[in-house]
Structure 1
Amino acid sequence: MTLRINGSAPDKAGFAALRRDKDVIASFVLSERETVITDSGLQPNRTYSYTLEEEHYRTTVQASTMDTTSHDIQWQSYDTLGAYGSVEAIWVLHRNDVIAAGLFRLSDGKGGYDVSTHYNVARWDGTSWKLKKVSFELNNIIWTPDINSLFVYNVNDIWYGGGSLIHWDGSTNTRVRHVEALGNFEIKSVWGSPTHDIFIVGDSGSIARYSNGTWIKMNSKTKVDLADIWGTSSDDVWATGTNIRDGKSVLLWYNGIEWTVMYDNQTAGIDMHYIMSVWTDSKRYAYLYSDGFYKMIKSDRSFIPIQKNGINRPAFLLRASAPNDMFVVGQVVEVGHWNGISWRTYPELLSVGDADLKSVHVGDNMVVAGGFIFNGLYGGPFVIRGYR
């Protein structure tokens, strides 16, 4: 629970105490400047009374914590989507409509894969996966690019990001050209605001915004390779990434006017080593997964450790339906679930074998994770479905 306390005029500043129910949890000087207090260790689904006491002033507010979500997930046997490739992005529209995107090549029947087969989307219909091609025509050639990311508004409004940005409008896939504005970088992640502004990120600090049919190349103030982006509105967007070559990692925030470097692991006082993924549902904070699980308070750039270890190996992606229903995936088929008060991992998934998970999405009491499973000299795409 985060509480923000503002005093009145500076000449009325004085000592104050904050009580949770009957217990004093903080003492401080009440002034015009905002004081941020984080109260941890609270029970889920409970209402607390907070009383601010000062010599000439007293006020009480009530605040409720969220309930937890269930850790109990019935994982199904994994599904393979070809002999070669990887699932790089997933979106659960509902239980009978799931999109998995990436690169999928079929078997050649001889222990290898058929280079002539090239799919980039698989669709779950509640019974089975169907491979599809999201393609566009350019210079009289049909192109089916590999897909790294997708963002879905609804079944008739889907954005695919990779070598190109492709928009499905319910009837046609259209390539949205970005090379003129951006220098032709590969899209690593795509996110769409409620007002349909599309943001994309890529290597060397590349960020761009597509609004009302126009591309805007943005100054990210970094050269770090960016891998993830998420936000709540067009003036509240977070992006993050880490260089493989030198380990430099940054967290960026956009206020609708400019990007700000909120964290740089090579200059900051706190070292979280790397930040791979970001997710938020509030204008006040963002959740991050690094060597642990953190919440960043935007106003003072403070990092609040939520819990050190969610999964035991490096993470690739953090996605959630709410702050009490978060999933993180990573190497060796690790899936971690945060239910608002604790983490749980699922060792039963290790039976999949030598595989990495690159993507995850949750919706309609269903979670789907995907990546690649090693099958000799290369990896093949696979997904795991879990149900509540």
Structure 2
Amino acid sequence: MLRKARDELIRKLNHIQSLLQVIKKPPDDKIFNLKSPNLQILKSLITLHLLLITVTTFSCRERVTPPDIPPYIPPIVLAVEDTSCTDAFIRIKTTKAFDGGVLQLRREGSTKVEITNLNTQLDTLVIDEGLLPKREYKYRAYWIVNSTAVDSSMELIVRTMDTTSHDFSWEITYLGDGGNSMLYDVAIINDTLAYAVGEIHLKDSLGNWEPTPYGLAVWNGRELKLRKLFAQYPGVRSLSLVRPRGIFAFSEMNIWFADADVFWWDGKSQLLKVHQVVNTILSSGQYVNKLWGSSTSNIYAVGYGGAIAHFDGVRWRRIESGTDVDLTDIWGSPDGSIVWACGYYDDKVGTYLFKYNGIKWELAYDGSYTEFILRDDSISGSISSVFTLNKRKVFLATNAGIYESTSNITGKAKRISFTSS
């Protein structure tokens, strides 16, 4: 393209040169009288040619695209994962492995966490506790070598949550007429619909105990209504009474119960649909206690003897847990990528928390050492229930209280007591 422009430029210059030679002819040639209109026209043509040459030269110049500058990737990245009134959950990531030194997380210039193992890329969640409600805090991470900051992250601003009024009003309702009535689990659909399951014993009008207990209590926003649950197994003429020990509800028309086997209810039918897992998917004695699912095609069931089963929307399959402890509860993150299960032995020491990471189940925490020790800063007691709202935090219920911990659980946790001690 440049060569063609150059050849065109040379041609036009040669043409102008020939015109200039003509202009230099003797003035006796009347055609080229300096005052002749023809000469003025010729000058205008030459000026126009020069202008066209200039425009052509610059318009034909090849444009060079500057190279793309890769975006800057900081070696240390901070991100706030969650906050409460007094805590900040901060994720620290490194985009490269550092050669020696330590990594410090500082709040307002004061070191809060120091990490020494920097031979591999880091991705960890830390909790900064003891903050004040409704306050703004500034964090920055530094790579320190020989007491000198070699590199750092960008500044991270974290705002803690405000407190509530704590003006709660509780109303206690008793179900049943005694007789060892028990509630084992609850599922809340909304503020006007909730379910509680268990064994609720009532007396008839003559004061005699009814022969079978009620298994379901339904809260409609005004009162609790009791209902007996029945199911019919294939090939069996008589009905089976269902006394659920667990319930999980996706909606008022999609409700699942656990009572050794698994049962499904549409919220209207007289009979529950049976999903038989005992002696088919699970071994004899492995009875289902609790259920959890992220969708109707991703449901987990846990129970006695380390029982874990999974439902993909079509069929159930057994999952090896690697334990024989009685699993008492299960819960997972909303997307189902992390699932927790917990349990303890009735006849010997041993309480455990298990975690499913999307690939396999593994032991996340062994609480046997602190099962009979009360601590406020670490998990203690027999772990009987587990709950989470996201992938970052997990709540555990034990006979010592409720504990809040991060998902990369090491035993460190904050006790939220439900007793006076």
Query: What is the TM-score with the length of structure 2 in the denominator?
Result: 0.66
Q: CA deviation at 1:146?
A: 0.5
Unaligned runs of 5+ in 1: 314-388
1:18 equivalent in alignment to 2:92: no
Structure with a larger share of its residues in helix: 2
Query: Which residue of the partner structure matches residue 383 of structure 1?
Result: none
Q: 1:285 to 1:95 in 2, by over 3 A?
A: closer
Q: Partners of 1:142 and 1:4 in 2: how far apart?
A: 54
1:184-203 alignment to 2 at 5 Å?
A: 185-194=286-295, 196-203=297-304
1:105-254 alignment to 2 at 5 Å?
A: 105-109=201-205, 112-115=208-211, 117-138=212-233, 139-172=236-269, 173-179=272-278, 180-183=280-283, 185-194=286-295, 196-232=297-333, 233-254=335-356
1:86 equivalent in alignment to 2:182: yes
Q: Partners of 1:6 and 1:94 in 2: how far apart?
A: 38
Q: 1:112 to 1:312 in 2, by over 3 A?
A: farther
Q: Partners of 1:129 and 1:252 in 2: how far apart?
A: 35
* SS of residue in 2 equivalent to 1:204: helix
Q: 1:267 to 1:259 in 2, by over 3 A?
A: farther
CA contact (8 A) 2:105 2:141 kept: yes
What amino acid is aligned across from residue 131 of structure 2 in structure 1? Answer: L
Larger radius of gyration: 2
CA contact (8 A) 1:102 1:120 kept: yes
Q: Partners of 2:200 and 2:381 in 1: how far apart?
A: 33
Unaligned runs of 5+ in 2: 1-87, 144-148, 372-377
* SS of residue in 1 equivalent to 2:281: helix
Residue of structure 2 aligned with 1:289, choices 377, 383, 397: 397
Output one character per residue of 1:170-196: Cα deviation in whole Å (capped at 9) or x when no partner.
544311221211135322111112464
Query: What is the TM-score with the length of structure 1 in the denominator?
Result: 0.71
CA contact (8 A) 2:292 2:330 kept: yes
Aligned-residue sequence identity (percent) comes to: 27
Q: 1:47 to 1:135 in 2, by over 3 A?
A: farther
CA contact (8 A) 1:207 1:218 kept: yes
Q: Kindly indicate whether structure 1 or structure 2 has the higher relative contact order, using CA contacts under 8 Å at least 6 residues apart.
A: 1
Q: Partners of 1:188 and 1:160 in 2: how far apart?
A: 9
Q: CA deviation at 1:212?
A: 2.1
1:98-109 alignment to 2 at 5 Å?
A: 98-109=194-205
Q: CA deviation at 1:83?
A: 4.3
CA contact (8 A) 1:227 1:277 kept: yes
1:260 equivalent in alignment to 2:362: yes
Residue of structure 1 aligned with 2:132, choices 40, 43, 53: 43
Q: Partners of 1:73 and 1:304 in 2: how far apart?
A: 29
State the aligned residue count: 311
Shift >6 Å, 4+ stretches: 267-271
What amino acid is aligned across from residue 38 of structure 1 in structure 2? Answer: I
Q: Partners of 2:264 and 2:342 in 1: how far apart?
A: 24
